[in-house]
Structure 1
């Protein structure tokens, strides 16, 4: 089975941002992913292509969903989604009602 490889500077930057946001060193990430330290550094710097296995291992080690590595950890929408996921269903419904009310107040008439 062939693993597709990808490379973008944005992805590399997001991996570093997530690692730093989680307070994880490159050495700790290496130990948790079994990806060579040099390889991790090059992936973070956009000097080396990453593959699906890299993304899955890094996401798992950082306790994030793989898609999150493509989004800044400082993204406010992502932060809101994570907070909503932790609420019980009744509070999710209340939060959605508030968001709908805010949206309807901002809709042009």
Structure 2
């Protein structure tokens, strides 16, 4: 007896809904028309990657910042509508953003 049968025994009046669930790759983030700019700079002699150009809500951009820092295992911050990550991770960041459905543009270097 599998789980469906057990649930049917517990709730005989329930009709299961067999609609396929579509997966949202963006994770609930607002998608935009313009690409997110992925810049590389050196600050105080150390490389940093800067993401700029997101036009959605600040909370969504902060969630994106936290996810990027976690997936790349790097430090960083969110300031002045920009995500600043320690190190040169432009290629990995652009892949992650494109998986989520964002358009990206590499700027500088």
**TM-score of the pair, normalised by structure 2:** 0.32
Greater helix proportion: 1
Greater strand proportion: 2
**TM-score of the pair, normalised by structure 1:** 0.32
Larger radius of gyration: 2
